[in-house]
Structure 1
Amino acid sequence: MEDLTGVRNPDLSTSMCSNKLKQDHDVVLVMVPFPAQGHLNQLLHLACFISSSYDLPVYYVGTATHNRQARVRANALSPSDIAKIHFHDIPTPEFASPPPDSNASSKFPRHLLPLWDASMLLREPIASFLCDFSSKARRIVVVHDPSMSYIVQDASSFPNAESYLFNCISAFYLYCFSCSFSGMSFQLGEELLKKLPSFEGTMPDELMNFIALQGPYLDLTSGDIHNTSKVIEGQFLDLLAQVKGKQQWAIGPILPTKFDCISNRTDICLEWLNKQPSRSVLYVSFGTTTTFSDREVMELAMGLELNKQKFIWVLREADRGDIFTGEARRVELPEGFEERVKEVGLVVREWAPQPEILAHSSTGGFMSHCGWNSCVESITMGVPIAAWPMHGDQPNNGFLVTEILKIGLTVREWEKREEIVSASTIENVVRKLMTSEEGDAIRKRAQELGVAVKRSVEKGGASRIELDSFIAHITR
């Protein structure tokens, strides 16, 4: 075994193995997600799709708390598909779960750092779990988040196990990150390079150190899977393949592209959307790691009210490390705001069915933090984005959306990230996206790209061919 100094013992004792499994398997997939909502969600979607489409046993391995989180927030997945997944709950290590700081100078969710540090304690229980399979399956295939590379390293100690990275971030960001921190030159074009946002302020030193701890174990993997499509990022997937030197599979988007029962689902957002004109509603949501200050909320509220554009606004605090503990701050709106906008807007303070909202015919735009999960959902549903990145990979994702794919507008430049975005700026961006000729052209490009992306996951499409190739490879 290994402590956090990185000293590895290659002789993992088989005495750990308890052979608890009652049934022999041919090929078993083991999904190991990073404990953050956008990562939990994407790997659960992949688990369900592989289980239902290829009839392979899939185990979803994480702490009891975060496996529960993945299940209760399983947007757009059918209960019958989730029921096929074998959830293996590891006892949750103790960690601090403080509330987010709404007045912090940086939007990075530092309050989640204790959780991510605690995730490093999962190595031994995961090694033990894999050992249970070592004599019961012909092959164990571990699919894991790059940020869990340290804790799944023992997969390489079993002769019948192999591991693959599942990248929950864009190929564009991964390429930019690789170039920036290896000193390689960007193959991007002079004009785009001038506008490319810097990595300054995207993440704190603590996270960089956490990422660095994963580095030595990335080479133990047999290849990379990407939640993107060649239709979206073909150029950057090709460049990344040159950098990586291992086999790459672009199998995304990993989400349902059709919602047959969307009009029958009982949900306040969908019921409200059913009453609105086509492409008339702006969906406003900043994911699970963004917290606005009272001043920022006031400016956004005034901007939406001044604009008079129909909207659904998901107004929530960032997640705690443990979403089931502690009481979330109730974000206050201007006095009388909800009454004044009741004919044009809906404020939602609970968990919202984002994929279904974006797929709804009444949704015409998405004001987003540009987390990759949100970008993929919006692109797939053909909805243009008002890009307002907050931290991490989001500035690069916003750049991809606005400058390369040209299916969105920028709310705030990354260089001005510490400035308050004014109500007038928000009003102008929303008006341009939703009611101008420029916005119509952007929406048309977004819709065309969405059609192409949906085709890519159908039989014979680029992403489906890639997924079939990956499944054939691991079941060889």
Structure 2
Amino acid sequence: MATNLSDNSVLHLNEVIVAMVPWPEHGHLNLLFYLARIIASQNIPVHFLCLAARNQDLKKRLQGGLQTSVENLGNSNIHFNDLLVHSSPTETKDVFLERLGETICKTCHELSTNTKRLVMIHDCLMISYIGDHLHLMSNFKCYAFHPTSAFTRYSSLRQTIHIVDEDHDEMIQQLGEEFPTVESTFGPNMAEYVGKELKWKHNSGDIINSCRELEGNFIDSLAKAKENTPLWAFGPFNMLPESLDSLSISGNKKTSHKCLDFLDKQDVNSVIFVSFGTTTTLPQEQVKELALGLEQSNHKFLWVVRESDRRVDMENSEERHEKIELPEGFEERVEGRGMVVRSWAPQLEILGHLSTGGFLSHCGWNSSMESISMGVPMAAMPMTVDQPYHTLLVTHVWKIGVSVWSWARRKEIVPATAIEKAVKTLMGTPEGEETRQRVVELRNKIKKSVSHGGLAHKEMESFISYITNN
């Protein structure tokens, strides 16, 4: 259902085209696909510029069970521009991305000839690859999408430029070695990236998949630190009415995944879901400890085991798989109590299932937001980049989960005993039940915020109005 904008805004809707420029990895492009559907629902043409194989996957999400209501949901306003950029075995990733950026800008130039204003919404990681080619256009505005939390962005910014903030300093002092540094998370090049971002002359505004009910203070601090740049926070995207039924985006609902059949047979809040996202690969030794921890916990679980892989061709998504070995006899010993899935699984549907009572996760931002939006507490086991910051939000700020292992001991393999303890705490103690109650309360606040008339929904309307009038 489209939002009622002012008459002045409506006059400009057909004069604007939006070009979505994702980072070509699934976890990143999924969020911009949500945003594309939100904007398209406002009767604005949206072009999704991505590698052909990725676009093919996204097209499938608009099929199947959604056919009866496509026109009402704005999907007819989404256009897929397939970018054909092939890589060679000897080519570095940076060289490939440079050529991808050049192709993106050429496509945007073609789109700009058919509109009075082209609005480019790009993943912030694409700045390095599109900046040199934007001179081809004059009638465009760029908005950076940041696929992480306001807390992560602000904390990283403070570690690279001088910002006076006594409250933040107090948190850092209180947490000591548990507070992540950019060196321990993003690596030594983060300062260079932040400097490039701050100096980038084409940025007309920033968007984050968050909301004030979750990160009000950090959003305000981030906006103050970048006072000359508009900032919008109106997530979780998957909960906004314009982004469609949050479960349907996972895939075709006509075919039920086998793991949902397993969940259907379990008691309410009795199963812990275990997944580490699409880009995290656990070493074999860690997989063994995780398996033993789940087995020793004696709790029911659903574990999505991602095979380790090596990316060969980003365009054709060719991968070389190395089979993950579980402990001998593990699956036989946990049969009926635990289920292992070695393929894709519908994460939102799993988290939204009544039987799911906890989520053992790396705390990627997508997974964190989805868990909160479904009212599921978390056992946090971060690996790298922004995940340790989100772990602090989950365990220290929101208090909707437990920590599996100390970040100060991140170089060690997390032992089975620590995993067992975290699962038992989350799934079978008063402390775990309190985290569940808090996350349900937080989910309800967010549902109100993203609904029509809510704070996050109004911020979304503000963004739509801004890009169609400025």
Match of 1:145 among 115, 123, 126: 123
Match of 1:277 among 261, 267, 290: 267
Contact in 1 for aligned 2:239/2:450 (Cα 8 Å): no
Q: Assess, with a 3 A threshold, how the Cα gap between structure 1 residues 448 and 147 changes in structure 2: closer, same or farther.
A: same
Query: Given residue 270 of structure 1, which amino acid in structure 2 is its aligned partner?
Result: L
Distance 2:64 2:368 in 1: 16
Q: What is the deviation of 1:422?
A: 1.1
Residue aligning to 1:106: none
SS state of the match for residue 392, structure 2?
helix
308-317 or 153-162: bigger deviation: 153-162
Distance 1:313 1:84 in 2: 37
Residue aligning to 2:28: 39
Residue aligning to 2:385: 392
SS state of the match for residue 149, structure 1?
helix
Distance 1:238 1:328 in 2: 44
SS state of the match for residue 92, structure 1?
coil
Residue aligning to 1:100: none
Contact in 1 for aligned 2:360/2:379 (Cα 8 Å): yes
Q: What is the deviation of 1:318?
A: 4.9
Question: Among the aligned pairs, what percent are the same residue?
Answer: 40
Q: Assess, with a 3 A threshold, how the Cα gap between structure 1 residues 250 and 326 changes in structure 2: closer, same or farther.
A: closer
Q: Assess, with a 3 A threshold, how the Cα gap between structure 1 residues 238 and 346 changes in structure 2: closer, same or farther.
A: same
Contact in 1 for aligned 2:142/2:204 (Cα 8 Å): yes
Could you give the per-residue CA deviations for residues 28-49 of structure 1, whole angstroms, max 9, x where no partner exists? 1100011222111100111122
402-411 or 193-202: bigger deviation: 193-202
Distance 2:27 2:412 in 1: 26
Q: Assess, with a 3 A threshold, how the Cα gap between structure 1 residues 76 and 220 changes in structure 2: closer, same or farther.
A: farther
Q: Assess, with a 3 A threshold, how the Cα gap between structure 1 residues 216 and 400 changes in structure 2: closer, same or farther.
A: closer
Residue aligning to 2:224: 242
Residue aligning to 1:107: none
438-447 or 324-333: bigger deviation: 324-333
Distance 1:472 1:362 in 2: 41
Query: Given residue 98 of structure 2, which amino acid in structure 1 is its aligned partner?
Result: M
Contact in 2 for aligned 1:385/1:401 (Cα 8 Å): yes
Distance 1:85 1:412 in 2: 43
SS state of the match for residue 313, structure 1?
strand
Distance 1:243 1:156 in 2: 28
Instruction: Determine whether 1:452 maps to 2:452.
Output: no
Q: Assess, with a 3 A threshold, how the Cα gap between structure 1 residues 336 and 71 changes in structure 2: closer, same or farther.
A: farther
Q: Assess, with a 3 A threshold, how the Cα gap between structure 1 residues 400 and 443 changes in structure 2: closer, same or farther.
A: same
Residue aligning to 2:7: none
Match of 1:254 among 212, 237, 240: 237
SS state of the match for residue 276, structure 1?
coil
- 5+ residue gaps, structure 1: 1-23, 98-112
Could you give the per-residue CA deviations for residues 141-167 of structure 1, whole angstroms, max 9, x where no partner exists? 100011111333344663321010111
Structure 1 length-normalised TM: 0.85
Q: Assess, with a 3 A threshold, how the Cα gap between structure 1 residues 259 and 227 changes in structure 2: closer, same or farther.
A: closer
Structure 2 length-normalised TM: 0.86
Match of 1:180 among 149, 154, 159: 159
Q: Assess, with a 3 A threshold, how the Cα gap between structure 1 residues 83 and 475 changes in structure 2: closer, same or farther.
A: closer
Query: Given residue 184 of structure 2, which amino acid in structure 1 is its aligned partner?
Result: G
Residue aligning to 2:44: 56
Match of 2:170 among 187, 190, 193: 190
Q: Assess, with a 3 A threshold, how the Cα gap between structure 1 residues 179 and 290 changes in structure 2: closer, same or farther.
A: same
Residue aligning to 1:203: 186
Distance 1:235 1:119 in 2: 35
Match of 2:87 among 75, 85, 94: 94
The structure with the greater share of residues assigned to helix is 2
Query: Given residue 268 of structure 2, which amino acid in structure 1 is its aligned partner?
Result: S
Match of 1:219 among 198, 201, 209: 201
Q: How does 1:8-19 map to 2 (within 5 A)?
A: none
Q: How does 1:331-342 map to 2 (within 5 A)?
A: 331-342=324-335
SS state of the match for residue 200, structure 1?
helix
Q: What is the deviation of 1:131?
A: 1.8
Instruction: Determine whether 1:308 maps to 2:288.
Output: no
Residue aligning to 1:430: 423
Contact in 1 for aligned 2:157/2:194 (Cα 8 Å): no
Q: What is the deviation of 1:428?
A: 0.6
Distance 1:198 1:216 in 2: 20
Query: Given residue 469 of structure 1, which amino acid in structure 2 is its aligned partner?
Result: S
SS state of the match for residue 223, structure 1?
strand
Distance 1:74 1:58 in 2: 14
Contact in 2 for aligned 1:45/1:77 (Cα 8 Å): no
Q: What is the deviation of 1:124?
A: 2.5
Residue aligning to 2:4: none
Q: Assess, with a 3 A threshold, how the Cα gap between structure 1 residues 211 and 132 changes in structure 2: closer, same or farther.
A: same
Matched length: 436
Contact in 2 for aligned 1:150/1:213 (Cα 8 Å): no
Contact in 2 for aligned 1:170/1:397 (Cα 8 Å): yes
Distance 1:157 1:324 in 2: 30
Query: Given residue 281 of structure 2, which amino acid in structure 1 is its aligned partner?
Result: T
Q: Assess, with a 3 A threshold, how the Cα gap between structure 1 residues 133 and 217 changes in structure 2: closer, same or farther.
A: farther
SS state of the match for residue 359, structure 2?
strand
- 5+ residue gaps, structure 2: 1-12
Q: Assess, with a 3 A threshold, how the Cα gap between structure 1 residues 156 and 444 changes in structure 2: closer, same or farther.
A: farther
SS state of the match for residue 116, structure 2?
strand
Q: What is the deviation of 1:126?
A: 2.1
SS state of the match for residue 305, structure 1?
helix
